[in-house]
Amino acid sequence: VGVVTRKIRTMGITPILREAKQKMGPVVTDNGNFIIDLEFPKPIDSPQELAVQLKMIPGVVETGLFVGMADEVHVGTGDGSYVILRHDVENKKT
Protein backbone atom coordinates (compact mmCIF):
# COMPACT_ATOMS: atom_id res chain seq x y z
CA VAL A 1 0.00 0.00 0.00
CA GLY A 2 2.84 2.39 0.86
CA VAL A 3 4.47 2.26 -2.57
CA VAL A 4 1.15 2.83 -4.32
CA THR A 5 0.06 5.73 -2.10
CA ARG A 6 3.46 7.44 -2.39
CA LYS A 7 3.32 7.29 -6.19
CA ILE A 8 -0.26 8.60 -6.23
CA ARG A 9 0.77 11.54 -4.03
CA THR A 10 3.50 12.47 -6.55
CA MET A 11 0.68 12.85 -9.09
CA GLY A 12 -0.96 15.55 -6.92
CA ILE A 13 -3.76 13.20 -5.84
CA THR A 14 -4.67 12.38 -2.23
CA PRO A 15 -4.98 8.61 -1.60
CA ILE A 16 -7.28 7.46 1.23
CA LEU A 17 -7.21 3.83 2.40
CA ARG A 18 -10.88 2.78 2.60
CA GLU A 19 -11.81 1.80 6.15
CA ALA A 20 -14.38 -0.91 6.90
CA LYS A 21 -17.59 0.21 8.60
CA GLN A 22 -18.60 -3.11 10.18
CA LYS A 23 -15.16 -4.20 11.42
CA MET A 24 -11.81 -2.78 12.46
CA GLY A 25 -9.27 -1.97 9.78
CA PRO A 26 -9.28 -1.39 6.05
CA VAL A 27 -11.59 -2.93 3.47
CA VAL A 28 -10.02 -6.05 1.95
CA THR A 29 -11.33 -7.53 -1.31
CA ASP A 30 -12.03 -11.24 -1.81
CA ASN A 31 -8.59 -11.47 -3.43
CA GLY A 32 -6.86 -9.89 -0.43
CA ASN A 33 -6.34 -6.47 -1.99
CA PHE A 34 -6.89 -3.09 -0.34
CA ILE A 35 -9.12 -0.37 -1.79
CA ILE A 36 -7.67 3.12 -2.02
CA ASP A 37 -10.06 5.99 -2.72
CA LEU A 38 -8.62 9.05 -4.45
CA GLU A 39 -9.38 12.69 -3.75
CA PHE A 40 -8.67 15.03 -6.65
CA PRO A 41 -7.86 18.74 -6.18
CA LYS A 42 -9.64 19.60 -9.45
CA PRO A 43 -11.74 17.89 -12.12
CA ILE A 44 -9.98 15.15 -14.07
CA ASP A 45 -8.90 16.55 -17.45
CA SER A 46 -8.29 13.21 -19.18
CA PRO A 47 -9.85 10.15 -17.52
CA GLN A 48 -8.36 7.89 -20.21
CA GLU A 49 -4.83 9.12 -19.54
CA LEU A 50 -5.30 8.94 -15.77
CA ALA A 51 -6.56 5.34 -16.00
CA VAL A 52 -3.43 4.35 -17.92
CA GLN A 53 -1.13 6.17 -15.46
CA LEU A 54 -2.77 4.53 -12.44
CA LYS A 55 -2.66 1.04 -13.95
CA MET A 56 1.07 1.48 -14.61
CA ILE A 57 1.73 1.80 -10.86
CA PRO A 58 3.03 -1.53 -9.50
CA GLY A 59 0.40 -2.90 -7.12
CA VAL A 60 -2.62 -1.28 -8.78
CA VAL A 61 -4.96 -4.04 -9.94
CA GLU A 62 -7.85 -1.96 -11.28
CA THR A 63 -9.32 1.53 -11.12
CA GLY A 64 -12.86 2.79 -10.61
CA LEU A 65 -12.60 4.80 -13.81
CA PHE A 66 -15.01 3.20 -16.25
CA VAL A 67 -13.53 4.82 -19.34
CA GLY A 68 -15.42 4.10 -22.55
CA MET A 69 -18.01 1.92 -20.80
CA ALA A 70 -20.99 4.26 -20.42
CA ASP A 71 -22.88 6.69 -22.59
CA GLU A 72 -24.59 8.36 -19.60
CA VAL A 73 -23.44 9.54 -16.16
CA HIS A 74 -25.63 10.84 -13.30
CA VAL A 75 -23.81 13.37 -11.09
CA GLY A 76 -25.37 14.46 -7.80
CA THR A 77 -25.01 18.08 -6.68
CA GLY A 78 -24.92 19.69 -3.25
CA ASP A 79 -28.47 21.04 -3.53
CA GLY A 80 -30.01 17.60 -4.13
CA SER A 81 -30.46 17.98 -7.87
CA TYR A 82 -28.44 15.99 -10.36
CA VAL A 83 -26.99 16.42 -13.80
CA ILE A 84 -27.23 13.77 -16.49
CA LEU A 85 -24.19 13.81 -18.75
CA ARG A 86 -24.65 11.99 -22.02
CA HIS A 87 -22.00 11.15 -24.59
CA ASP A 88 -22.50 13.21 -27.76
CA VAL A 89 -25.90 14.48 -26.57
CA GLU A 90 -26.96 17.79 -25.01
CA ASN A 91 -26.64 17.54 -21.20
CA LYS A 92 -29.68 18.23 -19.03
CA LYS A 93 -30.11 19.16 -15.37
CA THR A 94 -32.98 17.77 -13.30
In tens, the pLDDT along 8-65 reads 999 999 999 999 998 899 999 999 999 999 999 999 999 999 999 999 999 999 999 9
Tens digits of residue pLDDT in 17-32: 999 998 899 999 999 9
DSSP assignment string, 11-74: TT-EEEEPBPSSSSSB-B-TTS-B-EEEE-SS--S-HHHHHHHHHTSTT----S--TTS-SEEE
Residue 94 has pLDDT above 60, yes or no: no
Q: Which pTM does this prediction carry?
A: 0.73
Long-range contacts of 9-17 (CB under 8 A, 24+ apart): 11/53, 12/41, 13/38, 13/39, 13/40, 13/41, 14/38, 14/39, 14/40, 14/41, 15/39
